[in-house]
Amino acid sequence: MALTLYNTLTRTREAFEPRDPERVTMYVCGPTVYNLIHIGNARPIVVFDVLYRLLREAWPQVVYARNITDVDDKINAAAQANGESIGALTARFTEAFHTDLAALNTLPPDVEPRATDHIEGMIRMIRTLIDSGHAYEADGHVLFDVNSMEGYGRLSGRQLEDLLAGARVEVEAYKKDAADFVLWKPSTDELPGWDSPWGRGRPGWHLECSVMAETHLGETIDIHGGGQDLIFPHHENEIAQSTCAHHGAEFARYWLHNGYITVDGEKMSKSEGNFFTLRDLLQQYHGEVIRLALLCGHYRQPLDWSPATVEQARSALDRFYQSLRNATDTRVADSEQSIPDDVREALEDDLNTPLALRHLHATATALNKATDPAERHRLKAELLGGAGLLGLLATPVEEWFRGAGDSDGPSAEEIDALIAERREARGRRDFARADAIRDDLAARGITLEDGPGGTTWRRSARAEVTGQQA
C-alpha cells in the first residue's frame, strides 16, 4: 500500500512505512471527561477512524489507542459545581462519549486507557526524568526543564525565546524557565491525589499521554494524531517527556493534526461558547449525516459548521442510499463488498476524503445507469465497499428512508394502509383520490415513489417539510 501522510513534524507529505509491519501503532488524544463533546471534538475521532480502517486494510495488526483523561482540574471544578463525585462525573461523561461516538459509526479503539489507571507509570517516568536531569522539584511541584532538551519546540516550530516573548500568562516563581511545564503538582485533601516521592499530588496534563502510549504501544509509536490545537503545548511536551525518558528514542514517527471546525469562520471552542454538542446535533440529524459532513472537507482544512453544511451531507447520503434502493434487484453479501481502487487511492493520498467521495458519487451514478446484472452487482459491491472504508452506508436502506426526519409523523402501518388504498384507487383510475392520498401524506412529511416494484415511501428531510409549510 502506498500511503502518504502529511507529517506535522517535517511539514511535508511522507510515504508511510510502519516501524514494524507486523504491528502498526496509532495513538489519538481522547477527551477529558467533564462534559459532552462538541462537533469539533468529534472531528479527529472520525478522521482517525477512517485512517484506522484504511490501515487495517493494509496491515495485519493495527493497535489503536485512544485515551480517556479522567483526572484534570476541569473535572474537579465541574464535579464541585454539580455537587457530584468525581468518579460519578467521569463515569457519566465517559459513557456519554461512547454513546455519541457509536452513533457516528466509529470503531472502538483497541485500547482505551484511563489516566487514573496509569499513575504508577507516571510516577516512574517522572523519576526517570529527574534522575536524568530533565526534571526538577520546586515548591512541591515537579517541572520539566525545557532547557535540558535539545530541540524543544521542533514540532510546533518555535524557539524558546519566542515563547517567552509571547507569554501571556504570569510565570510561576518556582519555574526556572517560563516554558517549563508541570509533571506533578500537589493536591489538597479535597482534591484527587496519589502518594508519590514528592508528596500527595496529581499529574500534569501532558504526562498521561506519554505514559499511556509507552504502556500500550511502546517507546516509539508510528502515528500520533489529534487536533491542531494540541500541537502546542500538548504534543510538544509529550515529545519532550517521552524522548527524554526514553534516552532519545523517537516518540512518534508521523504526527497528524486535523484542522478546526469553525462557526462563521471563527474557531469553535468551549471557552468561546460557539459550539454545538454532538448530543444536540444527533437529536436533529442521523449520525451518518454528521459523519459525512465531517468528511466532506479535507481533514487538514478548516471546516465551517452550519445548517447548510449538514443539509448538504444529508442530500449526498440520500443520493447514495437512493442508489442502493434502486438496486435491490442485486444482493451483495458483506463478504462480497469490494473497495474500488480509486477510492482507496484517494484515501491513501493523505486521506483525501472529498476525492474519495467524488469517486463514490461516480460509482453511484454508474450503478443507477447500469443494466447488466453482473455489472450492477459489481457496482453495488463497490459502492458499499468504498463507503464502508469511510464508515458510511452502514444503515439498512429502508431504515434510512423511513427513519429519517421527524419521528412524530404517521406510522408505517398507517402509511402502508394508505398506500394500499391508493393502489386500489389507481387501479380504478381514480387519480383524484390517489393524488389526494399522496398530497395528504406529503403534507405530513411522507414522500411516495411509484416504482416498477410498487410504491415505496420515505420521510422527507426536515428542511423540505419546513419549506413546504413556509
Query: What part of residues 89-148 is at the interface with RNA (CB under 7 A)?
Result: none
Question: In the bound complex, what is the minimum distance in angstroms from residue 440's beta carbon to RNA?
Answer: 13
Interacting residue with RNA among 10, 85, 132, 159 (CB under 7 A): 159
Residue with cell 496519589: 194
**Interacting residues of 167 by C-beta distance below 8 A, sequence separation 6+:** 178
Interacting residue with RNA among 148, 309, 337, 363 (CB under 7 A): 309
Cβ closest to RNA, residue 300 vs residue 402:
300
Cβ closest to RNA, residue 59 vs residue 296:
296
DSSP code of 63? Answer: E
Question: In the bound complex, what is the minimum distance in angstroms from residue 131's beta carbon to RNA?
Answer: 25
Interacting residue with RNA among 87, 373, 396, 451 (CB under 7 A): 451
Task: Give the side-chain half-sphere CA count within 13 A for 14.
Answer: 15
CA neighbor of 347 nearest in space, from 316, 317, 307, 390: 390
CB 239 within 8 A of CB 251: yes
Q: Does 394 bind RNA (CB under 7 A)?
A: no
Q: Round to whole Å and give the CA distance between 62 and 267.
A: 32
Question: In the bound complex, what is the minimum distance in angstroms from residue 317's beta carbon to RNA?
Answer: 9
Residues 30-49 binding RNA (CB under 7 A) are: 31-32, 40-41, 43-44
Q: Round to whole Å and give the CA distance between 350 and 38.
A: 25
CB 393 within 8 A of CB 380: no
Cβ closest to RNA, residue 13 vs residue 19:
13
Interacting residue with RNA among 150, 151, 169, 334 (CB under 7 A): 169
Extended beta strands in 228-359, E state = 252-258, 261-263, 266-267, 303-304
Interacting residue with RNA among 56, 74, 246, 462 (CB under 7 A): 74
CB 140 within 8 A of CB 201: yes
Residues 213-272 binding RNA (CB under 7 A) are: 226-234, 258-262, 265-271
CA angle 12, 387, 29 (to 5 degrees): 50
CA neighbor of 240 nearest in space, from 134, 164, 156: 134
Residues 346-365 binding RNA (CB under 7 A) are: 349, 352, 354-355, 357-358, 361-362, 364-365
Residues 404-433 binding RNA (CB under 7 A) are: 426, 431
Paired with 57 in beta bridges are none
Question: In the bound complex, what is the minimum distance in angstroms from residue 335's beta carbon to RNA?
Answer: 27
Cβ closest to RNA, residue 53 vs residue 438:
438
Interacting residue with RNA among 110, 177, 219, 304 (CB under 7 A): 304
Q: What is the CA radius of gyration of the chain?
A: 26
49-57, 135-143, 245-253, 444-452 -> range binding RNA (CB under 7 A): 444-452
CA neighbor of 458 nearest in space, from 440, 445, 469: 445
Question: In the bound complex, what is the minimum distance in angstroms from residue 171's beta carbon to RNA?
Answer: 9
Q: Round to whole Å and give the CA distance between 260 and 180.
A: 27
Q: Round to whole Å and give the CA distance between 119 and 123.
A: 6
Question: In the bound complex, what is the minimum distance in angstroms from residue 353's beta carbon to RNA?
Answer: 8
101-109, 387-395, 407-415, 449-457 -> range binding RNA (CB under 7 A): 449-457
